[in-house]
Amino acid sequence: MSIFSKTGILLGSLLVAACVTINVYFPAAEMESAAEKIVRDVLKEEQKDTDTQDNPQGLIRQSPDTSWLASLNPLNLLIGSAHAQPKADITLSSPAIDAITARMKQRVNDYLRDYLNKNVVGFTNDGLVEIVNIDQLDLKERQAVKKVVADENRDRIALYREMAIANDHPEWEDQVRQAFVKQWIAQAESGWLYQDNSGRWVKK
């Protein structure tokens, strides 16, 4: 076999490997954008959601005005248009996701916002909520907040799982969760408590 043939086989193998890498890549930026929208909807007061009306299928889509730029990438020319991957469309909605987020939004409006405002609970660094200061509550209120926290955490865990499933990659659950961790903290209101990376409680 000539050196040119061997070189051709090697280059072909590298290009196939590149295709596989592109196909399994986790779309971190797109998932964070999806998490940003969901967290905003859950935490904010009831308001008209124009984004959902404009995009009823619940997808984040790239602007068509700039999509042609991808064809200028030399790697795309080598791999071929069949393997060039555009940025992912992330599914924001499914029956399970919609039911979960509806419960979470109602819970925020009914109970959780008040507990957050009083620093009774805070956002953890693993995407959940936790009781921070229960001393100010009487026995009945303590039982109530424990139930709210348990229900909220159950729904949050389910949300991360269902987001991964809705996007056909159940194995993405941990990465989905990390995208939401950033957004819960980023969109926490001034005065709310959250955990930093070391586990220390910080007031925003």
| pLDDT at res. 7 | 53
Reduce the DSSP state of residue 154 to 3 states and report it: helix
Other CB atoms within 10 Å distance of the CB of residue 119? 15
Average pLDDT for 112-135: 97
| pLDDT at res. 145 | 98
| Residue 123: exposure state from Cβ atoms within 10 A (0-12, 13-18, ≥19) | buried
Q: Do 130 and 112 touch, CB atoms closer than 8 A?
A: no
Q: How confident is the model at residue 1 (pLDDT cuts 50, 70, 90)?
A: low
Joined together, the tokens standing for residue 37 give: 């929208």
Q: Per-residue pLDDT tens for 37-95?
A: 999 999 986 654 544 444 544 444 444 444 434 444 544 444 443 344 445 689 999 99
Domain boundaries of the chain, sorted by first residue = 27-71+90-203
| pLDDT at res. 46 | 65
Angstrom distance (rounded) from CA 140 to CA 95: 34
Q: Per-residue pLDDT tens for 160-187?
A: 999 999 999 999 999 999 999 999 999 9
Angstrom distance (rounded) from CA 146 to CA 152: 10
In this predicted structure, the answer to whether residue 22 has a pLDDT above a threshold of 70 is no
Beta-bridge partners for 91 = 59
Reduce the DSSP state of residue 37 to 3 states and report it: helix
Place of tokens 């991957």: 85
Beta-bridge partners for 145 = none
User: What global pTM score does this model have?
Assistant: 0.70
Average pLDDT, the chain: 81
Other CB atoms within 10 Å distance of the CB of residue 54? 7
